[in-house]
Structure 1
Amino acid sequence: MVSISRRGLLAAGAALPLLGLKARAQAPGKVLRFALSSFPPSMQPWMHTGTAALTVKLLIFRGLTGFDEKGEVRPELAESWTQDGPTGWVFKLREATFHNGKPVTAEDVKWTLEQVAAPNSTAFMKAEFGGVDRIETPDPRTVRIVMKEPTVTLPIWLASPHMPIIAKDSIEGRAGLGIGAGPFTLKGQERGVSIEVAKFDKYYKPGLPKLAGVKLTAYADENLRVAALQAGDVDLIEYVPWQHMNAIEKDPRLSLVATDGPFMGLNFNGGSGPFKDVRLRQAVAHAVRREEIVQAAFFGRGSKLEGIPIAPGSLWFDEARSKYWAYDKDKAKKLMAEAGVANGFSCTLLSTAQYGMHKSTAEIVQAHLSEIGIEVKLNLPDWAGRVDAAGKGRYEFMVQGTTADNNDPDGLAPLIDGDLPPNMARSWQIPTPEMHMLFAKGRAEFDPAKRKAIYAELETVALKQAPLVGLAWRSQGYGMAKGVTGFKSYPGSTNFFSAYSMEETSLA
């Protein structure tokens, strides 16, 4: 159980208006106090276990590339990279040091990529790096990665926070953390409560990080998380509840940075249960009035998502396809009749009670499906339980709250390509061989116009197969004391990677 000051508890009990309390941002060089939405279920470097874990991992790890505040790829451990023939890429490493004092070398990079792609790997990006043909290390600061097929997206993949470079042989067993080269070092943790990191004096970027350290405390109760910020007990919080965004914006002592990009959706179990039938996945897709999710779960801070999550205004967006799953109760009933369950059926929906938007979304889906004869029982474990159940396929369908891996359409592959290995962010056992082929074709094509045509075809197939049903775009917010500077809310699909900016963050 997370402890909070008596003042914070009193604030929570006051329904969280403007409290009139003096927010206390600490002096420069001190430890920033960060309120996480949950304690990370795991901090294994290459696994995906939620946003809170990503935040911590982005403090202690770095990859060959990363993302900047515009969501674009930037150099990290690699200071430059170039194409080398149709399938090769050459990365030049900068002079950097691991937390154990040893230099980052080409051998460390080679070892890392081999661990991710190994047959027994549980890495989130195992499938992507299974496409590596060979890795050459001509000298300690040069890595040549040769793919089996042309791969325009390799620098983007390497920027993922799920792909940090770890010191060779520093992980023992599947539960090992490994030694990274990020701006902070792990100082200590109280399991289930808090994690502390300290400035790494040998970080490869001169003058960074600006903080002496960060103490991250889990406030699973979203109201207590806001109360702690308003009371001055923390400096920065993630997952600002949508019902409190307005109060934070109006508080002269605080600021809110928020952006759309994350979304809510539904995943399905295609290995067992009713949703093996694509017609029932489509019926569910047409039975939900999404504007009610936007209002009830996000207090209007979002918009309907009636298709695959491709952001409006992007090069890849198509207006007609974006409305494919518009609400149509009659069509939903017709699809159920075609599937042989005209009178309805019962099923269980996996979500979590730990995040209000997950629980509210599940309750609205439950209510709407009851209108077409689908009786839904909710399963609402804590976040760690939800991650475990999702990763093992122990559900019939589930609420998903996530984002694409990046702002390129290829970033959707981990969410909708059913031919990739299972994980907690993708439907279970829904094979999508045609989509898998189109993703491969898209990442092998370097011509932008041709890529656009490929992804249009892929989107059409994804809408018909429904391995992911979109529900709502949501505004994702961070709240902070006015004395916090340098922290950025990253755009679109890179929003969950905002902790990249913690190296630039300081306290006035």
Structure 2
Amino acid sequence: MRSVRHRPLIAGLLVAPLLTGCFAAQNDSSGDTAGGARLKVALAFPPSENFSPYGADATLLSRLGVTEGLTKLDANGTAAPSLAASWKQENDRGWLFTLRQADFQDGSRVTPAAVASALTHAGEAKPLTAALSGVSLTAEPVGKDQVRITTADPDPALPLRLSSPGLAVLSAKAYEKGDKVSPVGTATGPFELTQSTGATAATLDRFDDYWGGLARASGVDARFIADGTARTNALRTGDVDIAEAVPVSQAASLDKGHARETATARTTALQLNTEKGAFKDPGLRVAARAAIDTSALAEDVYEGHADTGEGIFGPALTQAESKRHKPEGRAKPQAPDGQTITLGTYDNRPELPEVAQVLKQQLQKAGFKVKLEVRESSRIEGDALEGKFDAFVGARNTMLDTGDPVSVLASDYTCDGSYNLSLLCDSSVDKAVEKAENTADTAKRQDATMAAEAQILGTDAVVPLVHQRIITGVGGSVRGEILDPYERTLIGTGTGTGTRR
């Protein structure tokens, strides 16, 4: 994996793009919560980094209601108050955030010094959390309830960036063991992580002093079940109350009303290794793209629970449909002539191995020889980032890390991107992305973002396959579940079991 340098970034949407999806349930702590039953949840992805708050596990902690940042994203994708009650921009590089009164789960107070320390640790983390890729910031306490955050370069999207699960605020106790940052008992959310049995289960207890009110459930028992059929069966038999990422093949097996479909910003795509191997040749990348029938994937593999891939950003991002550009300057296709390629994917999302099988057949029909490798996500992602596959099928929520589409293009498709699975390094792409980064006006920035998307698609480093709708399995007694198009939140103070209203 290539190193990431901190480069100037003049970024941000003053108003984030609207998503067509919305949160299907809001936190509602009304009702009898003092003796609420424990909530049983089946999750698709186990912790892969010992619950580190900076990598993939950061989203896991956020979805379970453990961690919070200064801000959060609301249903429309705009920055909303969380641990910060309000904020104001002082100049093009400086922001002043006013904190609400809140406590950490270890009993200490959320102070300006604690917040500044947490953000400083995030900026020094290795590997760097995705939300700070290309960004350098400093945080300092101001008075009794304010924090001043200054960026090295103008960043009007900073309130959006601070909503990232990778920028959660933890107490001083979390950092006592040096590089091993622990969220156990050091976060601020409605549920406290109290026990973990590695990659199989975790126990969370209600945090009774949560600033947002007493949670309906007395705790959460989380199980990590990679197999989608097993997750669905656990819901169907009553072993769990909520099952995330129900396979489309299993949705019909649930009782009516128990399968909740949510339009998301998640795109399943084929990333082609542009640095070495067969797909270093752009003509072979064109041949691979031409061989793929995305409608067959949407209709057959996803059984209509997805839209055919049109770009990096799917229809859940409203600007994608109206501002999309047609890629230009593509290479001429080259005959595969029996070129052998290795195609990798993971099985935590059960459709992906089936997608890979269909792609294998389509590519072989076009003249490629294809070897398929499927592993659990935490055991294959590192190899994918290091370029050990010729092609890789993955599903990416393009609005997950910062809520800013430009940041996704920078991290996934530029020479110094921190999540560049295609290992793309193209000067024209870098210039197009940089132009989008340097545009602050909302409408113009959206135009520049979609122009950069077209530049990336023109390299054929990525082949968008489908834009997903996520299915969540919800038991009949559950209320207050949160169906989040950003996939950052699943459980809140109002989530629990009881008679539906």
Query: Residue 507 in 1 paired to residue 501 in 2?
Result: no
Q: Percent identity?
A: 24
SS, match of residue 234 in structure 1: coil
Query: Residue 361 in 1 paired to residue 352 in 2?
Result: no
**Closer/same/farther in 2, CA of residues 458 and 193 from structure 1, 3 Å limit:** same
Residues 435-462 of structure 1: CA deviation (Å, up to 9, x unaligned): 4444444344332232233223212211
Residues 105-131 of structure 1: CA deviation (Å, up to 9, x unaligned): 22222223222332744423342433x
Q: State the match for 2:239 in structure 1.
A: 233
Q: Is the 8 A contact 1:81 1:91 kept in 2?
A: yes
In the alignment, the residues of structure 1 paired with residue 412 and residue 432 of structure 2 have an alpha-carbon distance, to the nearest angstrom, of 12
Query: Residue 251 in 1 paired to residue 251 in 2?
Result: no
Offset of residue 387 of structure 1: 2.5
Q: Is the 8 A contact 1:259 1:489 kept in 2?
A: no
Count of aligned pairs = 459
Q: State the match for 1:381 in structure 2.
A: 375
**Closer/same/farther in 2, CA of residues 209 and 88 from structure 1, 3 Å limit:** same
In the alignment, the residues of structure 1 paired with residue 324 and residue 127 of structure 2 have an alpha-carbon distance, to the nearest angstrom, of 40
Q: Is the 8 A contact 1:307 1:321 kept in 2?
A: no
Q: State the match for 2:94 in structure 1.
A: 88
Q: State the match for 2:346 in structure 1.
A: 352
In the alignment, the residues of structure 1 paired with residue 304 and residue 76 of structure 2 have an alpha-carbon distance, to the nearest angstrom, of 25
Query: Residue 177 in 1 paired to residue 167 in 2?
Result: no
Q: State the match for 1:200 in structure 2.
A: 207
**Closer/same/farther in 2, CA of residues 110 and 469 from structure 1, 3 Å limit:** farther
In the alignment, the residues of structure 2 paired with residue 59 and residue 144 of structure 1 have an alpha-carbon distance, to the nearest angstrom, of 26
Of 469, 488, 495, 1:497 maps to 488
Offset of residue 184 of structure 1: 1.0
Of 397, 417, 423, 2:413 maps to 417
Q: State the match for 1:317 in structure 2.
A: 321
Q: State the match for 1:223 in structure 2.
A: 229
The aligned amino acid for 1:236 is I
Q: State the match for 1:427 in structure 2.
A: 421
Q: Is the 8 A contact 1:260 1:302 kept in 2?
A: no
In the alignment, the residues of structure 1 paired with residue 89 and residue 273 of structure 2 have an alpha-carbon distance, to the nearest angstrom, of 40
SS, match of residue 39 in structure 1: coil
TM-score, scaled relative to structure 2: 0.84
In the alignment, the residues of structure 2 paired with residue 367 and residue 298 of structure 1 have an alpha-carbon distance, to the nearest angstrom, of 17
**Closer/same/farther in 2, CA of residues 107 and 84 from structure 1, 3 Å limit:** same
The aligned amino acid for 1:471 is L
Of 446, 450, 453, 1:456 maps to 450
The aligned amino acid for 1:146 is T
Q: CA RMSD in A?
A: 2.7
**Closer/same/farther in 2, CA of residues 149 and 415 from structure 1, 3 Å limit:** closer
Query: Residue 61 in 1 paired to residue 67 in 2?
Result: yes
- Any unmatched runs of 5+ in structure 2? 1-32
Offset of residue 476 of structure 1: 0.3
Offset of residue 313 of structure 1: 6.8
**Closer/same/farther in 2, CA of residues 371 and 451 from structure 1, 3 Å limit:** same
**Closer/same/farther in 2, CA of residues 466 and 106 from structure 1, 3 Å limit:** farther
Q: Is the 8 A contact 2:54 2:125 kept in 1?
A: no
SS, match of residue 375 in structure 2: coil
Offset of residue 204 of structure 1: 1.3
Q: Is the 8 A contact 1:352 1:358 kept in 2?
A: yes
Q: State the match for 1:9 in structure 2.
A: none
SS, match of residue 304 in structure 2: coil
The aligned amino acid for 1:378 is L
Of 133, 136, 139, 1:135 maps to 139
The aligned amino acid for 1:94 is R
Q: Is the 8 A contact 2:235 2:243 kept in 1?
A: yes
- Any unmatched runs of 5+ in structure 1? 1-25, 326-330
TM-score, scaled relative to structure 1: 0.83
Residues 26-79 of structure 1: CA deviation (Å, up to 9, x unaligned): 9961110001123221221011259xx525665211101112344432211111
The aligned amino acid for 1:416 is D
Query: Residue 335 in 1 paired to residue 325 in 2?
Result: no
Of 251, 259, 267, 2:271 maps to 267
In the alignment, the residues of structure 2 paired with residue 91 and residue 76 of structure 1 have an alpha-carbon distance, to the nearest angstrom, of 11
Of 116, 129, 142, 2:122 maps to 116
Q: Is the 8 A contact 1:65 1:77 kept in 2?
A: yes
Alignment of 1:24-173 (within 5 A): 29-42=36-49, 43-48=51-56, 54=60, 58-118=64-124, 120-130=126-136, 132=137, 134-168=138-172, 170-171=174-175, 172-173=177-178
In the alignment, the residues of structure 1 paired with residue 107 and residue 315 of structure 2 have an alpha-carbon distance, to the nearest angstrom, of 42
The aligned amino acid for 2:262 is A
Q: State the match for 1:284 in structure 2.
A: 288
Q: State the match for 1:306 in structure 2.
A: 310
Of 171, 193, 198, 1:191 maps to 198
Residues 155-190 of structure 1: CA deviation (Å, up to 9, x unaligned): 111111122112236232444324221111112122
In the alignment, the residues of structure 2 paired with residue 117 and residue 388 of structure 1 have an alpha-carbon distance, to the nearest angstrom, of 22
SS, match of residue 384 in structure 2: helix
The aligned amino acid for 2:444 is K
Q: Is the 8 A contact 1:107 1:168 kept in 2?
A: no
**Closer/same/farther in 2, CA of residues 168 and 419 from structure 1, 3 Å limit:** farther
Higher helix share: 1
